[in-house]
Amino acid sequence: MRLTLCVIALILLSACHSPNQARVHVVKNKSHVAYVEELQLLAPQVCMKSNLPNEEPIPPFLIDITVEGKLAALLDLSSNQTIDSRNVLQRTETSKELFCTGNNMKLNQEVREKDLKKWIKEENITVTLTELNGDIIERSPLTAFKIGEMDGAVSKP
């Protein structure tokens, strides 16, 4: 009886534990959505960091930025592509560095900055990190709104 309970407990522990899900995480205080008024662009940027031991390579994963709600109808989403982490990680020196990426999405019509800020705060833009097979590693809303410049700089939070 005791052996049966131990086996069941071991099965439950191993079934619930997934070591790959924690290998990378979104750094929320560095990730944001920038609005470049001169170009009528929204530029979501997601920053990530590895949770793996030093110098261990990060297995590839996909980064997908999705837009929902009223904001989705106002954007040209044709430029919003899923990003392969292998393209982003080629430029990092070590697996412990912060690495960032994102997309530019053109607004189809003029929108007040106040409305954009409201929609972004309502979690209408989400980043999803997934395994190559489609399993979700992490899903996180991008709610920080910033004003961007044409050169890519962020002028004010």
As for how many domains the chain has, the answer is 1
Q: Is residue 7 part of a domain?
A: no
| CATH at 135 | 2.60.40
Q: Is residue 78 part of a domain?
A: yes
* pLDDT, tens only, 115-154: 999 999 998 999 999 999 999 999 999 999 999 887 778 8
* pLDDT, tens only, 31-44: 999 999 999 999 99
Q: How far apart, in Å, are the Cα atoms of 140 and each of 25, 41, 78, 106, 124?
A: 10, 21, 22, 22, 11
Q: Is residue 14 part of a domain?
A: no
pLDDT above 50 for 65: yes
- The pLDDT score that the predictor gives to residue 55 is 73
Q: Is residue 69 part of a domain?
A: yes
pLDDT above 80 for 67: yes
Q: Which domain holds residue 151?
A: 20-156
Q: Is residue 11 part of a domain?
A: no
Q: Is residue 15 part of a domain?
A: no
